[in-house]
Amino acid sequence: EKSELEKWACLHCKGQNATTSKVMKPLLGDQQAYVATVGSKVVVAFRGSSNIRNWIKDVEFRYTPLNWTGLPGNLKVHNGFLAASDQLEQKTALLSEVDKQLASCPTCKLLVTGHSLGAAVALLFTAKMGLIKGRSFRPEIVTFGSPRVGNKAFAKYWSGLYGASHTRHVHNRDP
pLDDT tens for 22-38 read: 787 766 667 888 998 98
pLDDT at 91: 86
Ramachandran angles phi, psi of 69, nearest 5°: -60, 130
Give the chain's end-to-end CA distance (angstroms, integer): 32
Q: What is the DSSP string of 71-114?
A: S-TT-EEEHHHHHHHHHHHHHS-HHHHHHHHHHH-TTPEEEEEE
* Residue positions annotated with a catalytic role: 116, 174
pLDDT at 6: 57
d(CA 161, CA 102): 21
Q: Under a CB-based contact definition with an 8 Å cutoff, are residues 100 and 126 in contact?
A: no
pLDDT at 44: 95
pLDDT tens for 82-96 read: 988 999 888 899 999
pLDDT lower than 50: segments of the chain? 12
Prediction pTM value = 0.85
